[in-house]
Amino acid sequence: MRHIIVETPPSIFHPQEPNTEDDFERQILRCARQLFPSHVAGLWKPLIRDQWGRAARPDMVLISSEFDAWHIVEIELRRHSLATHIEQQLETLSQGIYDYTLLQSLSQAVPGIPQSTLKRVLYREPGFLCVADAYADDLQSACRDNNFELAICEPYHGQHGAWALFVSKMPVAMRPSREPGVFQLRRGKAFGDRVFMEVPQHFPFSAGVVELNREGGELSEGQVITSGPRRYLNMPLSWAPLGKSVRLSMIDQARQRLRVEVE
The pLDDT tens digits for 133-143 are 999 999 999 99
> Residue 175: pLDDT above 80?
no
**Does 48 share its domain with 147?**
yes
Confidence at residue 46, expressed as pLDDT on a 0 to 100 scale: 96
**Does 127 share its domain with 201?**
no
**Does 45 share its domain with 168?**
yes
Can you give the CATH number for the domain in which 102 is found? 3.40.1350
- 3-class SS shares of the chain: helix, strand, coil, % to 5: 25, 40, 35
- pTM metric for this prediction: 0.71
The pLDDT tens digits for 146-161 are 989 999 999 999 988 8
**Does 167 share its domain with 190?**
no
Contacts with 71 (C-beta within 8 Å, 6 or more apart), sequence order = 39, 61, 62, 63, 126, 127, 128, 129, 173, 174
**Does 165 share its domain with 218?**
no
**Does 167 share its domain with 62?**
yes
Q: How confident is the model at residue 1 (pLDDT cuts 50, 70, 90)?
A: low
- Domains of the chain: total: 2
Which has more pLDDT, 170 or 216?
A: 170
**Does 167 share its domain with 47?**
yes
**Does 193 share its domain with 222?**
yes
**Does 97 share its domain with 191?**
no
**Does 142 share its domain with 222?**
no
Range of the domain at 223: 182-262
**Does 168 share its domain with 245?**
no
